[in-house]
Amino acid sequence: MKMIPSYSAFARILALGALIVLGAYAQAQTPTDPLLSWNNGPAKQAIVTFVKETTTQGSPKFVDPVARIATFDQDGTTWVEQPLYAQVMFAFHQLGAVGAKDPKLKEIEPFRTVLSGDREAIAKLTLPDLEKILSVTHTGMTVEVFQKSVQDWISSAQHPRFHHLYTECIYQPMLEVMRYLRANGFKTYIVTGGGQDFVRVYSERVYGIPREQVVGSTAGTTFGYKDGKTELTKEPRDVRVDDNDGKPIGIHLMIGRRPLAAFGNSGGDQEMLEYTQDGGGARLEMLVHHDDATREYAYGPESKIGTFSDALMAEANKRGWVVISMKNDWKHIFAWEQ
Amino acid sequence: MKMIPSYSAFARILALGALIVLGAYAQAQTPTDPLLSWNNGPAKQAIVTFVKETTTQGSPKFVDPVARIATFDQDGTTWVEQPLYAQVMFAFHQLGAVGAKDPKLKEIEPFRTVLSGDREAIAKLTLPDLEKILSVTHTGMTVEVFQKSVQDWISSAQHPRFHHLYTECIYQPMLEVMRYLRANGFKTYIVTGGGQDFVRVYSERVYGIPREQVVGSTAGTTFGYKDGKTELTKEPRDVRVDDNDGKPIGIHLMIGRRPLAAFGNSGGDQEMLEYTQDGGGARLEMLVHHDDATREYAYGPESKIGTFSDALMAEANKRGWVVISMKNDWKHIFAWEQ
């Protein structure tokens, strides 16, 4: 019996060692169900099938990683939008701060109404009223000053019904979809009617989506110098609204290719889903339907916010889009439920 | 002598095997100099120092990977811009195609001049002339049709002096910087005065930069339907010129944070470099100086294209920006030289 194994035997031992080490590693990495908060059903199945088809080498629908783009609307798709968009709550809050510095503002409508706190009167504000409020609270300051004010507000602002931070009112099932897609080589984007500079403040922390992957409504900025330092000031001009046709336009501007998968919940997402689907090949279009008044909200055609019209439902059915029932498809809605 | 080693001995062999395997892997991965086309000197040293400072854990200037953004101007910084921008050559070429379909165009200035091929007359075209030419050749078609025409042209168009494809007239040292930065966790962007939709056609293949990381000049698009399919049509309105102050504005719009490193070569890049530097901490600002008439071109304050004014040189010196001498800092300029 040789005491020293031959080189080839040694090589075999090395190879065996490496295999066992790598095998243990692979086993440790074996994922549990990536969509734990989803009930088994056609919605969950559609996601899993889409990912397998587009990412399995040799699949006829395999897609090169550079083209794996998935876009998510935000309000009503990844977080709560009722009773009022978080960004509008922020704007009302900021109006208080602006009013404290500029008391004249308190005498002018629509600011007087908002500052009065009269809920009934506030509920009657018109779109031009809201634009004035957004202009006063979202422009005239540097990008950094604006984002600091968002940061300050969002780190403590709570949802009026759930008594959790807005950034905790995120739909856990959608976070799981984002992570599942990213684990399979997709780049995930927020494509929102909300403000791009607003969402960028928390997108990385809350969604794991870096600032540059947020496509939202924007307005112009002016480049200038203050005390010899460069700065960008937010202006009330060149407004681009990232809703309806603004979504495919924004996607082309910011990303430059049609998404492979798109997620929305209302009429404002229709064009994005159409644009996604018309790219051909394996695509996934999903709409969140708010039909769970107990755990979240139930609203549809009649809601002023997040309108899911009968016409949209008809188009979803005709085009084969997947409608997610919050009530039936989601085991958990929020992380705090678990 | 036991024939079967004890479990602990077996574990030691496994561990040894794994170490040797991993060690061999690490050795195979040991990089050679990532900046092979650079001569040793202050420019090369500045790049290496910057990368080490910002990416070494525990370094006082360490930067979180999400903030590692590097922006590169294109014309004159990553590829040849003399005697005329490649995109202008493309526009002249396209004008021929447009003229063939619409013979009336041949009778109207400035199109008649371009189509005549009279070089002296062409050289005298004004900026408004050029805008008319860009409008006719860059708008009125879908995004896909436009990009197909760029693809067709750029796959065969050659530089008039070098007799290589334009996409081969790339500065090898800058490609090495891009790869070196990416290998160290940086996201690399093109930030160009050229057209965003134009550069996106070849950015992935030529620079390894995906379409969504190209920031350039843009114009509006219209969303619509043709034969029931969605499409985006390029329009001659809402033009955003990504040059001078347009570069920091474009960077904020498309990326949302100040770059950590910025590379340019002319006055159009000044604001981008200032904006980068004013972010504070470890930053890198570099300007390519075209001082090599033998291997490429020598031009500076007097050039209509890629003007590097004396004032810009003075600012570079004052602010400590690194000026790259093509002649002295670059061992090779083009890949085909090697």
Per-position pLDDT tens, chain B of length 338: 344 444 454 445 444 444 444 444 444 445 689 999 999 999 999 999 999 999 999 999 999 999 999 999 999 999 999 999 999 999 999 999 888 888 898 899 999 999 988 888 988 888 889 889 999 999 999 999 999 999 999 999 999 999 999 999 999 999 999 999 999 999 999 999 999 999 999 999 999 999 999 999 999 999 999 999 999 999 999 999 999 999 999 999 999 999 999 999 999 999 999 999 999 999 999 999 999 999 999 998 988 899 999 999 999 999 999 999 999 999 999 999 87
Assess B84–A contact: CB distance below 8 Å, yes or no.
no
Question: Phi and psi at residue B264, in whole multiples of 5°?
Answer: -145, -170
Question: Phi and psi at residue B160, in whole multiples of 5°?
Answer: -65, -25
CA distance A259 to B192: 24
CA distance B221 to A202: 29
Q: How many CB pairs under 8 A join A and B?
A: 101
CA distance A101 to B70: 39
**Of B252, B258, B269, B285, which to mutate for an interface test with A (greatest number of A Cβ within 10 Å)?**
B252
Shortest CA distance from A69: residue in chain B: B212
CA distance B304 to A7: 69
Interface of A with B in 130-149 (CB under 8 A): 143
Interface contact B210-A18, CB threshold 8 A: no
CB B285 within 8 A of CB B262: yes
Contacts of A258 (CB under 8 A, 6+ apart): A69, A251, A275, A276, A278, A279
Q: Which residues of B touch A210 (CB under 8 A)?
A: 66
Interface contact A143-B252, CB threshold 8 A: yes
DSSP characters over B102-147: -GGGGGSTTHHHHHHT-HHHHHT--HHHHHHHHHHHHSSSBHHHHH
CB A336 within 8 A of CB A168: yes
Strands A69-72 and B221-226: unpaired
Measured CA to CA in angstroms, residue A222 lies from A137, A307, B276, B277 at distances of 17, 35, 16, 18
CB B259 within 8 A of CB B69: yes
The one-character DSSP state at B257 is S
Taking Cα atoms as reference points, which of B133, B83, B92, B87 lies closest to residue B243?
A: B87
- HSE-CB at B36 with a 13 A cutoff on CA atoms is 10
Q: How many residues does chain A have?
A: 338
Interface contact B249-A223, CB threshold 8 A: yes
Interface contact B211-A20, CB threshold 8 A: no
Digit-coded pLDDT (tens) for A250-266: 999 999 999 999 999 99
CB B244 within 8 A of CB B284: no
